[in-house]
Structure formats: C-alpha cells, structure tokens
A and B are shown apart, each in its own frame.
Chain A
Amino acid sequence: MLKELQPALILLALLSALTGAAYPALVTGLAQATMSDQANGSLLKENGQAVGSRLIGQPFSDPRYFWGRPSATAPMPYNGGSSGGANLGPLNPALEAALQERISVLKAADPSQQAPIPVDLVTASASGLDPHISPAAARWQAPRVARLRGLPEARVLALLERHTEGRQWGFLGEPRVNVLALNRALDQAAP
C-alpha cells in the first residue's frame, strides 16, 4: 500500500485539478455566457428590477394574495438561504396539530368556501421553497381573492389560468401554478 502512495498523491492532485477546477470553471463559463438568466437564479424582473425568483416561492399570509405551500424553513418561512422540510412522520401528533392549525386559518380567511381543501395547500413542501401549488389549491382560493380585491371571479380565474403551467412535454410532472408570479399579476390588475 505504501508503494502506491506516490501515484495516489499525484493522481489525486491531477484529477482534482481536472474535475474540481477546470471542469466547474468550464461549466460556469459556458453557463454564464449562454444561459446567464438561469445560471444566476431565474430572477423575476419588473421594469428591470428583480422582485423575486421564478423558481423560489415567497411567503404570503395576506388573504388578498394567493397562499403557497406551508414552509418549514427556519427562522422564517421560505428562507432561501436555508432550505429544508418539516420531516414530520405520518403519525407524529405534531403533524396533525400543524394541519389543524393551517386548516382553521384557511377557513377563517374564507368561511364561505365549503369545498374540501386540497391536500397540497396544508402540507409542508420538501424544500420549504416550493414556488408552486396545484391548480386545485389555487382555484380553492380564487373566490376569496376575487372578493377582497373587488375583482370579478372570472377575471381572477383567467389570471390563474394564465399562470398555470401544464405537464412539461405534455406528460412529465404535475400541472401547477406559480404563486409569486400570479400574485404579482394580481397586484398589477387590482392594486
């Protein structure tokens, strides 16, 4: 084993330079040159100003906005500097307590909405940064948002439709609504 230390050391240095310096430098250079928007975080811009990222959700609790997935990041929800999930097991009493709390807050914000709440609206996302909710979760909130903003519900549903992404390539993943982009559009439609 000792005899092999010399080639081990030299090859570790050489291959480190290749895979740990040259390779990331090449990818960074190519990415920044050809896809700088994506490489730098897919920022959502309005009038040249960054107002968020198309890929990273933001916390909303004002009933005039659509709300996103519950986020378990610390110390504040949707902390883009420290991702993570709640890690609650299916039988953990803390999961039931958290769900009941979220359900009652949602119902209090719109007592007239009697339909069952879509499950993704009250369960924490894996990253704590999920930018999307299901179209069902968005539609569930549409009457509330329309009423509080004084907009016809059809108008809100049309906006919702415009910010719904279908399955990618027609069959991959799930249909989803980008909450931040939708709320920015709402603010422009009825400030």
Chain B
Amino acid sequence: MNANLLLQYGFFFAVLFLLAWPLGLYMARIYRGDLPAFVAWLRPLENFCYRLAGVRHGDDMGWRRYAGAVLAFSLLGVLAVYALQRLQLWLPFNPQAMANTTPDLAFNTAVSFVTNTNWQAYGGETTMSYLTQMLGLAVQNFLSAATGMAVVVALMRGFQRKEAGGIGNFWIDLVRSTLYVLLPLSLILALALVGQGVVQSVAPYASVPLTQAVDYEQPKVGADGQPVLDAAGKPVLEAATAREQTLALGPAASQIAIKHLGTNGGGFFNANSSHPYENPTPVSNLLQMLAIVLIPAALCFTFGRWVGDLRQGLAILAAMTAILVALLAVEVWAEQAGNPLFERLGLATQGSELMAGGNMEGKEARFGISATSLFVTVTTAVSCGAVNAMHDSLTPLGGLVPMWLMQLGEVVFGGVGSGLYGMLVFAIVGVFVAGLMIGRTPEYLGKKIEAYEMKMAAVAILATPLAVLLGTALSLMLEAGAAGVFNPGAHGFSEVLYAFSSAANNNGSAFAGLGANTPYYNTALGLAMLFGRFTIIAAVLAIAGSLAAKKRIPPSAGTLPTHTPLFVVLLIGTVIVVGALTFLPSLALGPVVEHLQMVGVR
C-alpha cells in the first residue's frame, strides 16, 4: 500500500461525496417541479413535450399503469434501436459503409441498451454507423437511465405518501430526469472529455503513415469475396504489409459522457474505456469513474431529503461505500500481487515510481494497477460495465471481485435509480429479519412491512440469481454455449458465469474472450437482460404502490431506527449473506479453483 494509491483513492471519494450531496438535493427539488433559476428557462421545453404527448400535470398513475408505461416506452425503444441497426447501410452518417447487423445481434444490442445493460456483442468501430451510435445507442443511454431514475422516484413516493392511490406520473419523471439532470451533466462532461483528447467528429476515419511498416498475415480472399480455404478447411493466409494506420473517429465524447453518467457502459469503441480515444488520460479516467458513481450516490441524498431525514439516505450511502471500499482493497491487492507466472519467467513485477508492475496483461500503461483496480471495482459495483482493462485477463481473485459485485444484485451504488431501488428492497428485507428476531411487525420509514411487500421483495431479490445460475448451467450443457468459451479450464467456466451475471444484473462488462456474438448467446443473454430488468422494476413498483396506500405509523419504542450504525451493519449483512449464500458454490467452481491452481503452480 503506497502513499500515491491512497491519495488517488482518497481524492476520488472526497470529490464524489462533495459533488453528490448538492446534486442529490437538487434532484429532490426538480422531481417536485421546483426548478432552481439556472434551469427554469427549460420549463417551456418541458411543457411543450407534455402538450405534444398529451400528458397532464397531476395525472397520477397507480403502480400498474406506471409499470405499463415503463414497458410500453421500453418496447418502442427496443424496436427503434433494432430498426436503426438493421437499416444503417441505407441511412445517413455512415461514412465507413457499415453493413446492416444480423437479426440476433440487433436484438441483443437493442435489448442491451434499453435495459441499461450495454453488453457489447459487437465492436463499435467495426460494426455500428455514426447514426446508429448517436440516434440509437446514445439515446437509449439517456432514456434507460432516465427510466431507472423514474422508477426509484416512484418508490420514494411510496414511502413519502400516505393513503394515496398513485405513485406519480412516469412521463413527467422521465422527462425531468432527462432534461434537468442527464442532459446538462452530459454536456459539461462531454466537453471536459474532449479537452482531454476524446474524439468528437462525424468525419470518416483518418489515415496516417506508419513510422515503421509492419508485415502481417491476413486471410486470402477469393474472387467471390469469400475467404479461400485450404484442403483442411482452414483459411489460407497471405503475407501483407501495412504502411498506413487507420484511426477510427466518430462522435464519441457526447456518447461517452452519458455512457458513464447513465451507468450504461457500452463503449463507442470495441476496447471501451481502455481505448485511448475513449479514455485518453488519467484525468479523463478520473472523470469517467466519478461520473459512474455520481448519480447513484446523489440519489441517496435525494432519498434522505424526500423521506424527511437526510440520515436515512446517509445510512444507505454508508452501507454501499463500506462494501465498495472493502472489495476495492481485495481487487488492488490481487492485481498488484499479480501472476506468479511472471516471476517464474524472470520478469520485473515490483511496482515503483518507474513502473506499475503487477498484473499488466490487458491493462494500459497510463492507468497502471491503482487507477485500473478502482475502475474495475466502481464499474461493477455500479451497474455501469464500462471497462478500462480487459477483465478476462484479471487475476482469479481480481476477477472474482467484479463478478461478485454484480451478483450482489447491483445494489452497491448500482445503476442510476436501479441501484437505490435494489438497495431499498434489501433494506426492507433487513428490517423484516430484524423484526423476526424481536418478534414485532417490521416497519420501515413509518410504513408497515407486510406479507405482500415481502413477497415482492423476494421476487426482486431472487429473479436475477435465477437467470444467472440457470443461464450459466444451461449454456455449459449446450454445445452452442460451450463453443463460445475461449480460455481453458476453470477460467472458461468463469467466462460464462460472468456473462450471465453481467446480463441479468444489467451491468454489461464482460470476460470478453467469450465468443458472445452468436445466435445462441445473443438470444440467451438478451432474454436474461430483459428478465432481470423488468421483473425487478415490476416488483419494485408493486411495493411502491402498496406502500403509498398505507398509513404512516409514528415511531414507537419497538421501532428499529434505520439511520444508525447498527442498521448499516444489518443492511450490509443482509446484502452479503444473500449474495454469498447464492453464489459461493458457483464462485468456488470458477475463480476460487483458478486461484488455488495459480498459487499451486509456484
């Protein structure tokens, strides 16, 4: 543990909380329609949207109608992104003449962006036109994030209201999230990123001369445009020399800003935030990490303000931060300790002022171990899924941390909106467990927690493990699933487990060696994303509706206070116990076995 690492991490958390606090209080105002002066000039635009769409202020929705609106909006989003990909060759802003994508890839990508997963079965700069990126993917970066924020606002209303029939209006929550939170923050971040070197243009890819020409082999293409195969069915290779380098460009900064702020994570380029045009400097790296956690952290303050006691939000924030910091320590330790193979081969691996050392396979020199480990932990604690290193090449325990953070249900900050509503479900389970221990009807924030809420909480908590474990098991039994595995041994199992953990929990990062762009994985992972996202949203909205209809009961001597360190520990315990009981067996088969094999090689 060196001083520089502590400084980098300390600075990150200090800036995060300093920004999240005012942002959270700002959001608490704008969802009530109480606009501060610096955004009030946008109100005519907001009202124009409602007028055109036929949305009326004060048209309160019950939870079923609210859920129906979420589903209708998401369905249309899927159709739009699907259509853009299937037609991109004939549409404008396609200077590289990208072909239309296959139906299974288009389905997977459309679902992936609408569910805020942003799993990438494609390589951005080799597959998607500028138009698809801007008008399809980036739009859903905004709207899937706004949807998550709307749902958590609806849940907060459930706690706040008493004997009410409705939980707000989805369209109003959606428009306000987009207009007053996501768009202004994205604009600022996009310009800051361009300043660091992130590209932003609609020109075709550039070409520059190589200082030293490079010889390479490429598959020979016959007169019919198909690769020539030899007698054994292998493609014939021919020697070639490259004297020029293609530089992929595009409207990247605008998309990357919302990719992080909306906890989306789908990269403009294939290598995501390890690509020097997507994340060029340590400062851009810091900005991107801050952007990932900013809104999820801020929503804790919003929650505290809305339930009338900021300490309630701070307790949630404290539980999230504690889990994040503990797993961050494991991550950076594992990656700095590295791979014993490197020492066996006589390499220098000790970190110093002259080199990062450690496990540098799949990492970038400008980020080294410290900045990469923080990014890995943050992007999976939050359901962002952007990566600035190849997670497939992490050490076994370094790969276990991001996998388990996703499996905890993306509640350690989690996605924008989705993280807090997931964590509030765990809080409900926590007070229920505490209530059982002392033999009283549990209550949370003045609302009695009864059988209906507990059923819905159980649905929300068990939905994603079901998709993860069944999906992994099924894929390993099917030939089509096993065929995608890239690395041999226990690591291959981890690739599949990681993929379903990522998809069902709407994270989107990958052990990218897995050959996932196949009809099987595109379909299976697409279904896992849909199931994970909308089962939880429906269950959460049902809880919101039920809570809103209840009376508020004043705290009594038997009420468990939910703003104390004791409650923080209870909440952490609930999350960890559920996550551990559900996933330890499968983690033991993957990263744990691999770790034992690795240290055994010594």
Residues of B within 8 A of A53 (CB): 208, 247, 276
Indicate with 1 or 0, residue by residue over A8-29, a CB within 8 angstroms of chain B CB atoms. 1111101110111101101110
* Contact B197–A171 (Cβ < 8 Å): no
Chain A: CB-nearest residue to B6: A171
Residues of A within 8 A of B348 (CB): 115-119, 136
* Contact A87–B197 (Cβ < 8 Å): no
Give residues of chain A (35-69) contacting chain B, Cβ–Cβ below 8 Å.
Answer: 35, 38-43, 50-62, 65, 69
Docked pose: A7 CA to B68 CA in angstroms = 12
CB distance from A77 to the nearest CB of B (A): 7
Q: Which 6 residue pairs across A and B have the least CB separation, nearest first? A: A173-B282, A126-B274, A87-B513, A174-B368, A81-B246, A1-B68
Number of residues from A at the complex interface, CB < 8 A = 109
Docked pose: A56 CA to B251 CA in angstroms = 17
Residues of B within 8 A of A54 (CB): 197
Residues of B within 8 A of A61 (CB): 212, 214
Indicate with 1 or 0, residue by residue over B334-349, a CB within 8 angstroms of chain A CB atoms. 0000110110011111
Number of residues from B at the complex interface, CB < 8 A = 140
* Contact A24–B138 (Cβ < 8 Å): yes
Contact of B216 among A77, A96, A119, A184 (CB under 8 A): A77
* Contact B211–A35 (Cβ < 8 Å): no
* Contact A126–B65 (Cβ < 8 Å): no
A168 beta carbon closer than 8 Å to chain B? yes
Indicate with 1 or 0, residue by residue over A84-125, a CB within 8 angstroms of chain B CB atoms. 111111111101100110010000000000011111101111
CB distance from B180 to the nearest CB of A (A): 12
The stretch among B24-32, B291-299, B386-394 that forms the contact with chain A is B386-394
A-B contacts, 29 listed (Cβ < 8 Å): A9-B76, A11-B73, A15-B49, A15-B143, A16-B80, A23-B183, A26-B187, A28-B200, A31-B253, A55-B276, A58-B210, A76-B242, A78-B245, A81-B247, A82-B248, A84-B123, A85-B390, A85-B512, A87-B362, A90-B393, A90-B396, A90-B598, A115-B348, A118-B357, A123-B360, A124-B393, A168-B283, A173-B285, A174-B370
Docked pose: A185 CA to B269 CA in angstroms = 30
Contacts A81-B126, A90-B339, A173-B366 given; does A16 touch B135 at CB 8 Å: yes
* Contact A92–B487 (Cβ < 8 Å): yes
* Contact A11–B171 (Cβ < 8 Å): yes
Residues of B within 8 A of A81 (CB): 125-126, 205, 246-248
Known: A125-B363, A171-B4. 14 other contacts (CB 8 A): A19-B143, A28-B251, A40-B206, A50-B208, A81-B247, A87-B512, A89-B393, A89-B489, A103-B347, A118-B347, A126-B364, A128-B271, A129-B275, A136-B352
B11 beta carbon closer than 8 Å to chain A? yes
* Contact A173–B281 (Cβ < 8 Å): yes
CB distance from B29 to the nearest CB of A (A): 22
* Among A39, A57, A128: residue with most chain B CB under 10 A: A39
* Contact A87–B201 (Cβ < 8 Å): no
Contacts A19-B142, A42-B280 given; does A84 touch B4 at CB 8 Å: no
Indicate with 1 or 0, residue by residue over B26-53, a CB within 8 angstroms of chain A CB atoms. 0000000000000000000000010011
* Contact B175–A11 (Cβ < 8 Å): yes
* Contact A93–B199 (Cβ < 8 Å): no
* Contact A18–B371 (Cβ < 8 Å): no
A75 beta carbon closer than 8 Å to chain B? yes
* Contact B125–A126 (Cβ < 8 Å): no
A137 beta carbon closer than 8 Å to chain B? yes
Contact of B361 among A80, A124, A168 (CB under 8 A): A124
Residues of B within 8 A of A149 (CB): none
Docked pose: A99 CA to B393 CA in angstroms = 14
* Contact B255–A24 (Cβ < 8 Å): yes
Docked pose: A184 CA to B195 CA in angstroms = 25
Indicate with 1 or 0, residue by residue over B479-497, a CB within 8 angstroms of chain A CB atoms. 0000000111111001000
Residues of B within 8 A of A117 (CB): 346-348
Docked pose: A29 CA to B488 CA in angstroms = 48
Chain B: CB-nearest residue to A60: B212
Residues of B within 8 A of A3 (CB): 68
CB distance from B100 to the nearest CB of A (A): 19
CB distance from A11 to the nearest CB of B (A): 5
* Among B53, B138, B179, B242: residue with most chain A CB under 10 A: B53
* Contact A119–B72 (Cβ < 8 Å): no
A146 beta carbon closer than 8 Å to chain B? no
Residues of A within 8 A of B210 (CB): 52, 58-59
Chain A: CB-nearest residue to B133: A24
* Contact A91–B68 (Cβ < 8 Å): no
Chain A: CB-nearest residue to B96: A81
CB distance from B446 to the nearest CB of A (A): 31
Give residues of chain B (347-396) contacting chain A, Cβ–Cβ below 8 Å.
Answer: 347-349, 352-368, 370-371, 387-390, 392-396
* Contact A24–B271 (Cβ < 8 Å): no
B254 beta carbon closer than 8 Å to chain A? yes
Docked pose: A183 CA to B210 CA in angstroms = 12
A147 beta carbon closer than 8 Å to chain B? no
B139 beta carbon closer than 8 Å to chain A? yes
